[in-house]
Amino acid sequence: MKKKLTLFIVLLVSLVLLTGCGDKATIDTYSDPSFTKGSISKMAVFPMQNTRLAPSQSRQVNRDVTQGVNSINPNIEIMGSAKATRIINEHGLADEWAKFLDDYNSSGIPNAQLLFEIGDALNVDAIMQGEIVDVYQRDGKYGGDTALSRVTVRYSILSTDSGKLLWEATSRGSRESATTLADAPPLIEVIQLAQEKILDNLAL
Amino acid sequence: MQLPSVLLSLFRNRKHLYFLIGLIVLVTVSIILVSVLTIYISQSELRAWETPLSYFSIIEPNLNFVDNDYKNKLVEDSKIKKVIEFKDSIISVPGILNTEYRPVLALENKDFEVFMNELNLKLISGEIPQSDTRDIIISENIAKKKGLKLSDYVGNAIDDEEFLWGRFRISGIFEGELDIALASLKYFERRLGRESSLLVLPENNLSSMNNSLFNLKNNNYNIETKETLIKNNNKKNKDLLDLIYILIAILTVSLTIIVGLYISLYLKTRLREFALYYSRGISRFNIVKFVLKELLLITLISQLLGVLVSYSILFILKEMIFSDLIFLAQISMFDILLILPLFISIILVSFILAFKNLKIKKLENIIMGG
Amino acid sequence: MNKILLESLSYKREVNDKYIFENLNLELKKEKGIILVLGPSGVGKSTFLHLLNGLLKADKGHIEINGIDLTNLDSFDSKKFWSETCNLMYQNFPLINWLNCKENLDLITGKKNIDEMLEKLNVKDIYNKYPNDISFGQRQRIALVQCFLMKPKIKLLDEPTSALGHDDKLKVIKLIKDITEEFNDLFIIATHDRDLIQFADEVYKIENKKLVLKNNIN
- CB-count exposure of residue B242 (10 Å: 0-12, 13-18, 19+): exposed
Asked if residue B36 has pLDDT above 60, the reply is yes
Q: For position C166, what pLDDT does the model report? A: 82
**Residue B272: its chain C contacts at CB < 8 A?**
94
Listed range (B36-40, C115-119, C168-172) with the worst mean pLDDT: C115-119
Residue type at B202? P
Question: If you measure CA to CA, which chain B residue comes closest to C109?
Answer: B1
The Cα–Cα gap between B108 and C199 comes to 114
Q: What is the pLDDT of residues A132-171, one digit of tens each?
A: 989 999 988 887 888 999 999 999 999 999 999 999 999 9
Domain holding A134: CATH number?
3.40.50.10610
Q: How many CB pairs under 8 A join B and C?
A: 55
Q: Name every residue whose Cβ is closer than 8 Å to that of residue B299 and which is 6 or more positions away in sequence.
A: B24, B343, B346, B347, B350
Q: Do A120 and B169 touch (CB under 8 A)?
A: yes
Asked if residue C15 has pLDDT above 60, the reply is yes
**Residue B8: its chain C contacts at CB < 8 A?**
99
**B112 and B80 in one domain?**
yes
Total domain count for chain A?
1
Q: Do B273 and C78 touch (CB under 8 A)?
A: no
**Residue B155: its chain A contacts at CB < 8 A?**
161
CB of A162 within 8 Å of a chain B CB? The answer is: yes
Q: For position C113, what pLDDT does the model report? A: 66
The Cα–Cα gap between C89 and B276 comes to 9
- Give the rounded percent of residues in chain C with a pLDDT score beyond 70: 94
Listed range (B92-106, B147-161, C6-20) with the worst mean pLDDT: C6-20
Instruction: Give the chains touching C; criterion: ≥3 Cβ pairs < 8 Å.
Output: B
Other CB atoms within a 10 A radius of the CB of residue A108 amount to 9
Contacting C with CB below 8 Å, chain B residues are: 1-4, 8-9, 12-13, 272-273, 275-276, 279-283, 364, 367-369
- SS3 of residue B12 by DSSP: helix
- Mean pLDDT of all residues in B230-252: 90
Q: Name every residue whose Cβ is closer than 8 Å to that of residue C146 and which is 6 or more positions away in sequence.
A: C95, C104, C105, C108
Q: What is the pLDDT of residues B195-219, one digit of tens each?
A: 889 999 998 889 889 988 888 777 8
**Residue B166: its chain A contacts at CB < 8 A?**
161
Q: What is the pLDDT of residues C165-201, one digit of tens each?
A: 788 788 788 878 887 887 788 999 998 888 888 888 8
- Mean pLDDT of all residues in C18-30: 86
- For chain B, the C-alpha Rg in angstroms (whole number) is 30
pLDDT, chain A, mean: 89
Q: For position C195, what pLDDT does the model report? A: 83
Question: If you measure CA to CA, which chain A residue comes closest to B164?
Answer: A161
Cβ contact C48:C190 at 8 Å: yes
- CB-count exposure of residue C208 (10 Å: 0-12, 13-18, 19+): exposed
Asked if residue A101 has pLDDT above 60, the reply is yes
Q: Which of A42, A123, A163 sits opposite B158 (nearest CB)?
A: A163
Asked if residue A12 has pLDDT above 80, the reply is no
Confidence label for C218 from pLDDT (cuts 50, 70 and 90): very low
Q: For position A21, what pLDDT does the model report? A: 62
- CB-count exposure of residue C203 (10 Å: 0-12, 13-18, 19+): buried
- Mean pLDDT of all residues in B92-111: 92
CB of A112 within 8 Å of a chain B CB? The answer is: yes
In a domain, B174, yes or no: yes
Cβ contact B334:B46 at 8 Å: no
The Cα–Cα gap between A135 and A150 comes to 6
Asked if residue B21 has pLDDT above 90, the reply is yes
Distance from CA of A87 to the nearest CA of B (A): 15
**B258 and B136 in one domain?**
no
Alpha carbon of residue A89 to chain centroid: 23
H or E element that contains A78: strand A77-79
Q: For position B151, what pLDDT does the model report? A: 94
Distance from CA of B146 to the nearest CA of A (A): 19
Q: Do C50 and B279 touch (CB under 8 A)?
A: no
Q: Which of B132, B133, B155 sits opposite A161 (nearest CB)?
A: B155
Q: What is the pLDDT of residues B73-89, one digit of tens each?
A: 888 888 889 999 999 99
**Residue A116: its chain B contacts at CB < 8 A?**
153, 167, 169
**B338 and B195 in one domain?**
no
Are 3 or more Cβ–Cβ pairs between C and A shorter than 8 Å? no
CB of B186 within 8 Å of a chain A CB? The answer is: no
Q: Do B132 and A123 touch (CB under 8 A)?
A: yes
CB of A127 within 8 Å of a chain B CB? The answer is: no
In a domain, A5, yes or no: no
Total domain count for chain B?
2
Q: Which of A42, A123, A162 sits opposite B157 (nearest CB)?
A: A162
In a domain, B1, yes or no: no
- For chain C, the C-alpha Rg in angstroms (whole number) is 17
**Helical H runs in chain C?**
45-53, 78-80, 101-109, 115-120, 136-149, 166-183
Contacting B with CB below 8 Å, chain C residues are: 46, 50, 55-56, 78-84, 87-88, 90-91, 94-99, 103, 107-108, 110, 150, 158
The Cα–Cα gap between B286 and C62 comes to 30
In a domain, B196, yes or no: yes
Structure-derived torsion over alpha carbons of residues B81, B86, B92, B93, reported in degrees to the nearest 10: -20
Cβ contact C31:C184 at 8 Å: yes
For testing contact with chain B, the best of A77, A113, A117, A120 (most B CBs within 10 A): A120
**B63 and B38 in one domain?**
no
User: In degrees, to the nearest 5, what angle opens at C-alpha B134 toward C-alphas B128 and B135?
Assistant: 20
The Cα–Cα gap between C131 and C114 comes to 19
pLDDT, chain C, mean: 83
Question: If you measure CA to CA, which chain B residue comes closest to A38?
Answer: B191
- SS3 of residue B175 by DSSP: strand
Q: Do A161 and B190 touch (CB under 8 A)?
A: no
Q: For position C138, what pLDDT does the model report? A: 82
| Boundaries of domain holding A38 | 22-200
Q: Name every residue whose Cβ is closer than 8 Å to that of residue A7 and which is 6 or more positions away in sequence.
A: none
- SS3 of residue A10 by DSSP: helix
Which comes out higher in pLDDT, residue C147 or A163? Answer: A163
Domain holding C60: CATH number?
3.40.50.300
Q: Do A41 and B191 touch (CB under 8 A)?
A: yes
| Boundaries of domain holding B213 | 47-226
Antiparallel, parallel or unpaired: β B57-61 and A28-31: unpaired
**Residue B191: its chain A contacts at CB < 8 A?**
41, 125
- Mean pLDDT of all residues in A168-183: 88
**B109 and B39 in one domain?**
no
Paired residues of B82 in beta bridges = B201
- Give the rounded percent of residues in chain B with a pLDDT score beyond 90: 70
**Residue B134: its chain A contacts at CB < 8 A?**
119-120, 123
Q: What is the pLDDT of residues B310-365, one digit of tens each?
A: 999 999 999 988 888 888 889 999 999 999 999 999 999 999 999 999 999 999 98
Q: For position B106, what pLDDT does the model report? A: 97
Residue type at B333? M
For testing contact with chain C, the best of B1, B272, B274, B283 (most C CBs within 10 A): B1
In a domain, B17, yes or no: yes
Which comes out higher in pLDDT, residue B273 or C43? Answer: B273
Distance from CA of B278 to the nearest CA of C (A): 8
CB of A36 within 8 Å of a chain B CB? The answer is: no
Cβ contact C190:C46 at 8 Å: yes
**Residue B364: its chain C contacts at CB < 8 A?**
55
CB of A117 within 8 Å of a chain B CB? The answer is: no
**B35 and B96 in one domain?**
no
pLDDT, chain B, mean: 92
Distance from CA of A48 to the nearest CA of B (A): 26
Alpha carbon of residue B191 to chain centroid: 35
Total domain count for chain C?
1
**B63 and B17 in one domain?**
no
**B181 and B283 in one domain?**
no
Q: What is the pLDDT of residues A17-72, one digit of tens each?
A: 655 568 999 999 999 988 888 889 999 999 898 878 888 998 899 999 999 999 99
CB of B359 within 8 Å of a chain A CB? The answer is: no
For testing contact with chain B, the best of C13, C47, C55, C84 (most B CBs within 10 A): C55
H or E element that contains A104: helix A94-107
In a domain, B363, yes or no: yes
Q: In C67-132, at which residue ranges do the beta strands (DSSP E only) sit?
A: 68-69, 86-89
**B182 and B72 in one domain?**
yes
The Cα–Cα gap between B344 and B339 comes to 9
Cβ contact B69:B194 at 8 Å: no
Q: Do A160 and B167 touch (CB under 8 A)?
A: yes
- Mean pLDDT of all residues in C80-99: 86
In a domain, A9, yes or no: no
Paired residues of C187 in beta bridges = C34, C155
DSSP string across A142-187 = TTSPPPEEEEEEEEEEEETTTSSEEEEEEEEEEEE-SSSSSPPPPH
Q: For position B74, what pLDDT does the model report? A: 85
Cβ contact C7:C62 at 8 Å: yes
Asked if residue A177 has pLDDT above 90, the reply is no
Q: Which of B133, B153, B167 sits opposite A123 (nearest CB)?
A: B133
Please provide residue B68's backbone torsions phi and psi, each rounded to the nearest 5 degrees: -60, -35
H or E element that contains A18: helix A2-19
In a domain, B84, yes or no: yes
H or E element that contains B103: strand B101-107
Q: For position B355, what pLDDT does the model report? A: 93
H or E element that contains A84: helix A81-90
Antiparallel, parallel or unpaired: β B57-61 and B197-202: antiparallel
Q: Name every residue whose Cβ is closer than 8 Å to that of residue B57 and which is 6 or more positions away in sequence.
A: B199, B200, B202, B206, B209, B210, B213, B223, B224, B225, B226
**B330 and B296 in one domain?**
yes
**Residue B12: its chain C contacts at CB < 8 A?**
98-99
| Boundaries of domain holding C84 | 2-215
**B73 and B188 in one domain?**
yes
The Cα–Cα gap between A151 and A190 comes to 6
**Helical H runs in chain B?**
6-12, 14-42, 44-49, 68-76, 112-118, 140-146, 185-192, 206-215, 226-236, 238-269, 271-279, 284-316, 333-337, 340-357, 360-367
